[in-house]
Amino acid sequence: MAESTPARRLRMGMVGGGEGAFIGEVHRKAAALDGQIEFVAGALAGSPEKARRSGRALGLPDDRSYPDWQAMLSGELARPENERIDFVSIVTPNHLHFEVAKAFVQAGIHVVCEKPMVHTAAQAAELARLVQEKGVVFAVTYNYSAYPLIRQARQMVLGGELGEIRRVSAEYHQGWLATAQDESNKQADWRTDPARSGMGGAIGDIGSHAEQLISCVTGLKLESLSADLSTFVPGRRLDDDASVLLRFVGGARGVLTCSQIEIGRENDLRLSVFGTKGSLSWQQENPNVLVVDLLDRPRQIYTRGGPSLGEEATAATRLPAGHPEAFIEAFANVYLGAAAHIRAKMNGQSESPLPYPTVQDGLQGVQFIEKVIESSRSSERWTAVNETAPEHSV
Amino acid sequence: MAESTPARRLRMGMVGGGEGAFIGEVHRKAAALDGQIEFVAGALAGSPEKARRSGRALGLPDDRSYPDWQAMLSGELARPENERIDFVSIVTPNHLHFEVAKAFVQAGIHVVCEKPMVHTAAQAAELARLVQEKGVVFAVTYNYSAYPLIRQARQMVLGGELGEIRRVSAEYHQGWLATAQDESNKQADWRTDPARSGMGGAIGDIGSHAEQLISCVTGLKLESLSADLSTFVPGRRLDDDASVLLRFVGGARGVLTCSQIEIGRENDLRLSVFGTKGSLSWQQENPNVLVVDLLDRPRQIYTRGGPSLGEEATAATRLPAGHPEAFIEAFANVYLGAAAHIRAKMNGQSESPLPYPTVQDGLQGVQFIEKVIESSRSSERWTAVNETAPEHSV
Amino acid sequence: MAESTPARRLRMGMVGGGEGAFIGEVHRKAAALDGQIEFVAGALAGSPEKARRSGRALGLPDDRSYPDWQAMLSGELARPENERIDFVSIVTPNHLHFEVAKAFVQAGIHVVCEKPMVHTAAQAAELARLVQEKGVVFAVTYNYSAYPLIRQARQMVLGGELGEIRRVSAEYHQGWLATAQDESNKQADWRTDPARSGMGGAIGDIGSHAEQLISCVTGLKLESLSADLSTFVPGRRLDDDASVLLRFVGGARGVLTCSQIEIGRENDLRLSVFGTKGSLSWQQENPNVLVVDLLDRPRQIYTRGGPSLGEEATAATRLPAGHPEAFIEAFANVYLGAAAHIRAKMNGQSESPLPYPTVQDGLQGVQFIEKVIESSRSSERWTAVNETAPEHSV
Amino acid sequence: MAESTPARRLRMGMVGGGEGAFIGEVHRKAAALDGQIEFVAGALAGSPEKARRSGRALGLPDDRSYPDWQAMLSGELARPENERIDFVSIVTPNHLHFEVAKAFVQAGIHVVCEKPMVHTAAQAAELARLVQEKGVVFAVTYNYSAYPLIRQARQMVLGGELGEIRRVSAEYHQGWLATAQDESNKQADWRTDPARSGMGGAIGDIGSHAEQLISCVTGLKLESLSADLSTFVPGRRLDDDASVLLRFVGGARGVLTCSQIEIGRENDLRLSVFGTKGSLSWQQENPNVLVVDLLDRPRQIYTRGGPSLGEEATAATRLPAGHPEAFIEAFANVYLGAAAHIRAKMNGQSESPLPYPTVQDGLQGVQFIEKVIESSRSSERWTAVNETAPEHSV
């Protein structure tokens, strides 16, 4: 079961996520699910009026529905410690992440931040240093890596059950940007605007999830990559399709593809890992199943909650087998991980009792996006990737 | 999107669901998910000590963690109205449902109750009359009928898209009771004890879900049935396997099977409906997909959040297509429906703005279980079923 | 690999299967596939002209393209033994099977016969006695039982790998007779005509396949059954839908359903077998996969040609794993079995080196159809089935 | 239905395919299936003794079971024309294809040849010229492109139903060479030997199928490619894994991957094509299904034999929907196409009534393999591909 005994509910503030936002609502549901976190304050939108309106719609008291994040930061710091928010969730468009995150971290407030974490590797490195210095918890919502069976996959791969890893494939198929609907759609609008989304289009929005999934399941470090970015929809300013050949330190190879113009594909993220002793495959749209193939044995289908699962998967599971868990539950696992670490720090412990993706995952993701774009503009065959060695967790 | 603007969160009390319980935890998560309901009081276990311990673990203040349901009822009624619970969730073993539900309904408190609602059709009818008399909201957590694509199926069938219905198949496959593990497992223990679970074993625990799914999707009324109940595990006191032939008013036919001894099956509930113009099929373990076959056309795969969905499915959906929703989200739809009706009543409206399974579904379910057991003991070919015509909603 | 070294190709004659026939062409392809059988003579249609025309189209010499089966029988017997047909395939509409089969068996000619073998159990018993008396090979093309993974299932069940069998489910879903298209369709025409098809509609045409699949995989003997036959399409003279509760000698239970009015279902035959130690499931439309669930172990997917298969499956396999085999190949396995037995008899051996469905399977099938129809007209709860104990093979 | 009326059976000779061979047996079954081709002569193995023994096992008369292909060529040419083979099937290891094919083409004998057709693009071009000059039929057994639903895909794409093609993905996953079993396995042995198999390992053996599938379904011409070949199994002399980025004339992009070290994957060839109006996806291991997604419409599942299929698929189909066809049937479609063209030529017509993969497909395949290997050794980002424009058919 995914819960520990709560001393009290943690208090969450939120920046972004007001009217019309998609991901903010997901964060609120994920935080609420397990009854450990209370949503108490917000600076929910870019204008004071909209922020106030959004706060009322969500039941925030007016005095904690702030007109902007600066007001929230100072307002909360002015409160007595036993009322103040314990952490802030940052769910604004990407270009605001850095500034907001930096300010809250500097104030010693824990952070849960959407991905991609920031726009540039330099910003990411600065933030990582600051997080280290301040000793705060900083989770980045690479939610897909928090699915129970991805944690099972990770435990099996790192435990050597597949042998030495030879080949990795991560695919992320979407079709919702197949036509030039960008202006009529709030989500599409900012996600395809370089100023707000960052330099990567599909590669930043979804490719970075695929990269993080490879990294967290296999622990492999990228040595070099060769990327082909495309923009198929006329007038679009960012890539909407990417194919990347990967070479890892130690000789493993891989392919990462992501596309947002594949009509009919919804949110079809897939991971396959092939080793010298076996392989595994997983699909996000059918997340309660993990396909495991060991040499010369019939295929095995592991199910969430079913037989033969390890501790990591079990710790991330709420329901018995056959009672499916899905996207929000995985997302909530990131919150449970961050919350557990925050509680641990409150109790004077430095280690997190549960895994979650950290600022190091965020940093690595931003580096990856930069290198993919660099490669796509280069005449060189391979673009070297000198990953800092993050001690990330799932 | 599934939410309306909340004036305030509804206050929920809970009877049952303490340490070691499965379904109470599901109810709490489902109630919490959408940020509209607050869990404020409980009588969580059969002994005062365990009730207190369970309350603390869940963050209830001691003064609202009651030693038993009677204390909770009187304690809450003694509170000022603006603090008192708005509704109670009843998640005890089945044999306690009737007494508890009756008391809260009589006190005018809205109820969310686990299924099967009560032990006998006489109790069910009494409760239905009382609910009618008191004008309270009474939801029964037939959670499977609240999946978005079941609501889509219902809208399509009732809207005539499949033509006249000829044949229905509902199957519910489980394997967790394939061996005599009953004593070592709290869930198995009471579910296989006639005194606590009721006269039906598998047919009551899971067969009643299958019956309600048929009823809510097709609106068909049972005319007669012919049932074969089996108990395969030596020493078990209730059926663990059932096969039922169904005849509906108007000439449609059907088969309902349920079993808890099918090794390898987890929670594999399936529904197929065949009409003169088309058919549809759905599986609970892959709930974001609805298979639709129209005469002489290629199969169509409807997806939750995808193209061509009707209002009912859309109203029950939280996330875009490809971001799977699952068991807890469907369960939460029952709570959203009950909450919406409670709010409507607070505002002086009698109609529920959202569908949810009611005391009438609960009554029909208990009648079904009784008739199945009657048939299984009868030498008659067919046992007539005189269903009261419930005006149930999904 | 499925072949033994042929001394020479066997010579096949065919009754029925001319212009516009479906199943005759399947028989010819199945017989030709493995290079062991030569199609040398035929009485291919009901009229001499059509028979001649059909023979020419198929490359038969005119002197062996006979106007009717009587002419073929006498004509072939008049030939020298080293030219004469070794066996005859009977692929006429059902009502002709008995007369033709009887005549060829009496003449000592081996037979491959379509199912259902004959119209009545009395005919079937007479034929079975005659086959025994004459010592001929008599195969009935229950082709589905010749799929490699059905043979694997049989070997596993009979070998006790699933423990004692508790529950069996066989479903056969079709939709091609959902509308009253009978007259415009040669196949539909005779299959829905009692005079030519027999007393059973769907139950005879496809239900008998389901029955044989249960019998051959589990070896269970029916003790009694309770059947509900329906005719949904107005004007149709035979059932187009059937649901049958099954009780087996020894206590196992089962459900057999078949329908030809399920729009969207093509040829969806499924078998599931549940025992005290495990279960298995198979679907004809995806025949290269067998799902195996053992207690407390992850699901295993056996594949034709893949790891862990037994001798029977291996002997029925032509291609490596992943190179799918399908309907015709399974059908050809019936021919390979009959051919192997014919060769064995030529060499003075009585045992067949390969399994195939025999006259005993045919007899049991006809008995089953009769009992289902009897039950559907009876007011008795259960209709006893006194199966003769066939020593059938797959 | 796939057949036309045969005047007489065509006479087939075979080079290679004796004892222990895999693909020769497949060719013989494919040729036999439809009753239009007779196997009458062979030079079945590398040594005269083995050739003779293989011929006897297959029922060839000794005088047409030749010790080598040269003897077969001269022996058959010495026969009267009405006995002589009509065509030869070449199923030797790859390195012998060129010499044998060239000799039979020069003698005016039609050819069916395994792929990859020859070792070098220069040989391929020479052979293509010779075929053109001699006017013979020359089929290359790119069997996967002859599946009915691949022909459906081709007709839909070329007919514009998906709009302009943007992205193509072809994957070919196998695992049978994941370990160094090469010496103990006849198939593995020659396929991993550069002298016998050619310069490409996985890319030649299976990657070339993937390339041909893209080409035949989309008609797109490669402009350039960027390939990463790997050899994972120590001691192996050829690649066993390849990833190739593709750029097509006109701006479409693609990824082709193939691997033979993916444990658990059997023969998992997949094709996806994405256009401006829709997409389609197909998997070889489940070949009777084609997934079609059109913009803003629910997914459609086309099935072989089912509704909405075009002429090409229908012409390649033998059985009704739900009666699966598979590998051998698709293979037989190549033979039916070649046979139809041979008959047409006998009747003085130059056009083939049915599609099949020709010497131009073979040439393009060899060019592709060469360019992939060139790219994998190059420091250039992209390797240009100047495809000759083949007028290939499916």
* Chain C interface test: which of B162, B164, B165, B166 (most C C-beta within 10 Å): B166
- The pLDDT of residue B184 is 64
At C7 the pLDDT is 53
**Is the pLDDT confidence value at B159 over 90?**
yes
pLDDT (tens digit, 9 = 90+) per residue, A43-97?
999 999 999 999 999 999 999 999 999 999 999 999 999 999 999 999 999 999 9
Q: For all residues of chain A together, what is the average pLDDT?
A: 94
- A135 Rama sector, left if φ>0, alpha if ψ -120 to 50, beta otherwise: left
CATH class of D10-143: alpha beta
**Residue with tokens 């490596």, as numbered in its chain:** C320
Residue A341 scores a pLDDT above 70: yes
Nearest to D266 among C9, C268, C322 (CB): C322
pLDDT (mean) for A119-134: 97
* The predicted structure's pLDDT at residue B387: 63
Average pLDDT over residues B190-206: 84
| pLDDT (average), residues C178-192 | 74
Which of A261, A279, D228 is CA-nearest to residue A270?
A279
- Contact across the interface for C302 and A298, Cβ inside 8 Å: yes
| pLDDT score of B386 | 78
Ramachandran angles phi, psi of B199, nearest 5°: -70, -25
Q: Please tell me whether the peptide bond between C61 and the residue prior to it is cis, using omega within 30 degrees of 0.
A: no
Residues 6+ apart with CB under 8 A from B256: B169, B170, B171, B207, B210, B211, B214, B242, B243, B244, B246
Q: How many CB atoms lie within 10 A of CB B163?
A: 17
Query: Do the bridges between strand C222-230 and strand B10-15 make them parallel or antiparallel, or are there none, so unpaired?
Result: unpaired
C320 contacts in A (CB within 8 Å)? none
Closest CA to B259 of D345, A24, C168: C168
| Nearest residue to A292 (alpha-carbon basis) of A315, A274, A312 | A274
Pairs from A280-286 (Cβ < 8 Å, separation ≥ 24): A280/A153, A280/A156, A280/A157, A280/A162, A282/A147, A282/A149, A282/A150, A282/A153, A284/A144, A284/A147, A284/B322, A284/B324, A285/B288, A285/B322, A285/B324, A286/B286, A286/B324
**What mean pLDDT comes out for the span A151-176?**
98
Residues A162/A273, Cβ–Cβ less than 8 Å: yes
For the question of an ipTM over 0.90, the answer is: yes
Structure confidence at residue A287 as a pLDDT band (50, 70, 90): very high
User: Do the beta carbons of residue D76 and residue D41 sit within 8 Å?
Assistant: yes
The secondary structure of chain D in percent helix, strand, coil, rounded to multiples of 5, reads 40, 20, 40
Q: Specify whether the CB–CB gap between D290 and D284 falls below 8 A.
A: no
SS3 for chain C, per residue? CCCCCCCCCEEEEEECCCCCCCHHHHHHHHHHHCCCEEEEEEECCCCHHHHHHHHHHCCCCHHHECCCHHHHHHHHHCCCCCCCCCEEEECCCHHHHHHHHHHHHHCCCEEEECCCCCCCHHHHHHHHHHHHHHCCCEEECCHHHHCHHHHHHHHHHHCCCCCCEEEEEEEEECCCCCCCCHHHCHHHHHHCCHHHHCCCCHHHHHHHHHHHHHHHHHCCCEEEEEEEEECCCCCCCCCCEEEEEEEECCCCEEEEEEECCCCCCCCEEEEEEEECCEEEEEECCCCCEEEEEECCCCEEEEECCCCCCCHHHHHCCCCCCCCCCCHHHHHHHHHHHHHHHHHHHHCCCCCCCCCCCEHHHHHHHHHHHHHHHHHHCCCECCEECCCCCCCCCC
pLDDT of residue C388: 59
pLDDT, mean of residues B291-308: 98
Compute the distance between CA of residue B225 and CA of residue D112 in angstroms, rounded to an integer: 62
Between the CA of residue C327 and those of A113, C24, C89, C117, C347, what are the distances in Å? Answer: 55, 14, 18, 20, 31
Is residue B57 scored above 60 in pLDDT? yes
User: What residues in B contact C230, CB-CB < 8 Å?
Assistant: 166-167, 253
Instruction: State the pLDDT confidence band at A393, using cuts at 50, 70 and 90.
Output: very low
Confidence (pLDDT) at B394: 42
Spatial distance between the Cα atoms of D240 and D208, rounded to a whole number of angstroms = 13
Interchain pair B29, A328: CB under 8 A: no
- Topology of the domain comprising B148-320+359-384: Dihydrodipicolinate Reductase; domain 2 (3.30.360)
SS3 label, residue D140: strand
Contact B204, B241 (CB under 8 A): no
Chains that touch A (3 or more CB pairs under 8 A): B, C, D
Using a 10 angstrom Cβ sphere, with 0-12 exposed, 13-18 middle and 19 or more buried, the burial of residue D22 is middle
Contact assignment for D325 to C326 by CB distance below 8 Å: yes
Tens of pLDDT, residues B236-261: 999 999 999 999 999 999 999 999 99
**Out of B299, B303, B307, whose CB is closest to D301?**
B299
Distance between CA atoms of D177 and D155, rounded to whole angstroms? 35
Residues of B with CB below 8 A from C255's CB? 243, 255, 257
Residue-by-residue pLDDT tens, chain D, 394 positions: 334 454 589 999 999 999 988 899 999 999 999 999 999 999 999 999 999 999 999 999 999 999 999 999 999 999 999 999 999 999 999 999 999 999 999 999 999 999 999 999 999 999 999 999 999 999 999 999 999 999 999 999 999 999 999 999 999 999 999 998 756 676 777 777 878 777 889 999 999 999 999 999 999 999 999 999 999 999 999 999 999 999 999 999 999 999 999 999 999 999 999 999 999 999 999 999 999 999 999 999 999 999 999 999 999 999 999 999 999 999 999 999 999 999 999 999 999 999 999 999 999 999 999 999 999 999 999 999 976 544 444 4
Full strand arrangement of the beta sheet holding C37-43: C37-43, C10-15, C87-90, C110-113, C138-140
Task: Return mean pLDDT, chain C.
Answer: 94
pLDDT one-digit tens code per residue, A213-224: 999 999 999 999
With an 8 Å Cβ cutoff, is D186 touching chain C? no
Instruction: Give which of D294, D299, D300, D302 to mutate to test B binding, by max B Cβ within 10 Å.
Output: D299
Residue B350, Ramachandran bin (φ over 0: left; ψ between -120 and 50: alpha; else beta) = alpha
Question: How many C-beta neighbours within 10 Å does residue D113 have?
Answer: 26
- Confidence tier at A389 by pLDDT (50, 70, 90): very low
Going by the DSSP 8-state scheme, the letter that residue B94 receives in this structure is G
Do the Cβ atoms of B320 and A174 come within 8 Å? no
Contact A261 D255 (CB under 8 A): no
Least Cα separation, residue A271 to chain D (angstroms): 13
What is the enclosing helix (H) or strand (E) of B56? helix B48-57
Distances (CA, A) of D369 to D23, D121, D210, D386: 21, 9, 11, 13
Lowest mean pLDDT among B45-54, B128-137, D110-119, D184-193: D184-193
Residue D170 CA to residue A79 CA, distance in Å, equals 59
Do residue A299 and residue C296 have CB atoms under 8 angstroms apart?
no
Distance from CA of C159 to the nearest CA of D (A): 26
Q: Do C307 and A300 touch (CB under 8 A)?
A: no
> What percent of chain B shows pLDDT beyond 70?
95
Residue A394 has pLDDT above 60, yes or no: no
- Answer yes or no: is pLDDT of B182 > 60: no
- What percentage of chain C reaches a pLDDT higher than 70? 95
| Helix (H) / strand (E) containing D330 | helix D327-346
Is there a shared CATH topology between the B10-143 domain and the B148-320+359-384 domain?
Answer: no
What part of A 11-50 touches D (C-beta under 8 Å)? Answer: none
Q: Identify the band that residue B192 occupies on the pLDDT scale cut at 50, 70 and 90.
A: confident
- Touching subunits of C (3+ CB pairs, under 8 Å) are A, B, D
CB D19 within 8 A of CB D57: yes
Instruction: Using the predicted structure, report yes or no on whether residue B23 has a pLDDT greater than 60.
Output: yes
**In this prediction, what percent of chain A has a pLDDT beyond 90?**
89
- Nearest one of B275, B201, B278, B271 to B241, comparing CA atoms: B201
C98-153 tens-digit pLDDT = 999 999 999 999 999 999 999 999 999 999 999 999 999 999 999 999 999 999 99
Rounded Cα distance between B272 and B280, Å, is 6
A303 contacts in chain C (CB < 8 Å): 298-299
State the pLDDT at residue B389: 47
Nearest CA to A310 out of A149, A152, A162 is that of A152
pTM value? Answer: 0.95
The answer to which of A81-85, A115-119, A189-193 has the lowest mean pLDDT is A189-193
Contact A327 B328 (CB under 8 A): no
Beta carbons of B293 and C264 less than 8 Å apart: yes
Domain boundaries, chain A: 10-143, 148-320+359-384
CA separation for the pair D275, B274 (Å, rounded):
34
Segment A87-109 mean pLDDT: 97
In which element (H, E) is residue A319 found? Answer: none
| Residue bearing tokens 């995150």 | A101
Could you tell me if A253 lies within 8 Å of chain D, comparing CB atoms?
A: yes
**Least confident segment among A29-38, A338-347, A367-376, C179-188:** C179-188
Q: Measured between alpha carbons, how far is A217 from A152 in angstroms, rounded to an integer?
A: 9
Q: How far is CA B49 from CA B291, C110, C330, D230, in A?
A: 50, 81, 66, 65
Distance CA B270, CA B255 (A): 12
Interval C273-310: pLDDT, tens = 999 999 999 999 999 999 999 999 999 999 999 999 99
Hey, how many other C-beta atoms are within 10 angstroms of the C-beta on A33?
A: 27
Answer whether A308 touches B (CB < 8 Å).
no
